[in-house]
């Protein structure tokens, strides 16, 4: 089923990065933002909450992070909202590409190491090693959530 959805995705969008199997970085290609890390190497745990607000916004708390190149971070993620939410970590262009795909295929399932989808009340984690410096994004790509404010920034510095 996943292969069929991916095939439809490639045919529908026909972009070079998707045709190369680079959708959300989950198909064996290196991600600019880094790589899955090992729990034993994590030097920091960042607690992240995902939720909706009374005024209709959707947020990550915190929504900005600063880490060091080479650092392994454990993101402990809690969905404190009433809806499903995602935590996706990637380059901004890849986030926007993934967002467009999710709008066309909202039920698409992922198994990417840089993303986690949690139902209301669930918790999970991503352990990530930041191998490159630069500016990256976090986002919830459930249709409508990014536009409701559910995104943030990750800055990876050399030191």
The two tokens of residue 88 are: 């996706």
**Whole-number percent of the chain with pLDDT over 70:** 82
> Would you say 35 and 126 are in contact if contact means Cβ atoms under 8 Å apart?
no
- Cis check for the bond before 60: say yes or no (omega within 30 of 0): no
Confidence of residue 67 (pLDDT cuts 50, 70, 90): very high
Tell me: the pLDDT tens digits for 10-36?
Answer: 333 333 333 333 334 444 468 999 999
The answer, as to whether pTM is greater than 0.75, is yes
Q: Of 114, 101, 130, 146, which Cα lies nearest the Cα of 27?
A: 114
For the record, the structure tokens of 74 come out as: 């454990």
Position 106 scores a pLDDT of: 82
Q: In whole numbers, what is the pLDDT of the chain averaged over residues? A: 85
pLDDT tens-digit readout, 104-135 = 988 777 789 999 999 999 999 999 999 999 99
Higher pLDDT, 92 or 109: 92
From CA 64, how far away is CA 32, in angstroms rounded? Answer: 18
d(CA 31, CA 99): 17
Task: Tokens for 47, please give them.
Answer: 């607690």
**Domain range 34-157, CATH architecture:** Sandwich (2.60)
pLDDT confidence of residue 29: 61
Name, in order, each residue with C-beta under 8 angstroms of 121's C-beta and a sequence gap of 6 or more.
79, 80
């Amino acid at each position: 089923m996943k292969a069929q959805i991916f095939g439809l995705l490639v045919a529908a969008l026909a972009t070079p990065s998707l045709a190369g199997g680079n959708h959300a970085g989950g198909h064996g290609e290196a991600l600019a933002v880094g790589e899955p890390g090992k729990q034993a190497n994590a030097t920091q745990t960042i607690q992240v909450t995902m939720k909706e607000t009374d005024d209709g916004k959707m947020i990550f708390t915190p929504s900005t992070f600063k880490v060091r190149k080479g650092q392994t971070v454990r993101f402990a993620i809690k969905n404190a909202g009433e809806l499903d939410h995602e935590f996706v970590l990637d380059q901004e262009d890849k986030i926007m590409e993934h967002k467009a795909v999710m709008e066309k295929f909202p039920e698409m399932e992922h198994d990417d190491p840089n993303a986690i989808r949690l139902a209301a009340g669930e918790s999970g984690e991503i352990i990530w090693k930041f191998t490159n410096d630069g500016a990256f994004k976090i986002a919830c790509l459930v249709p409508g959530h990014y536009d409701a404010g559910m995104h943030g920034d990750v800055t990876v510095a050399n030191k």
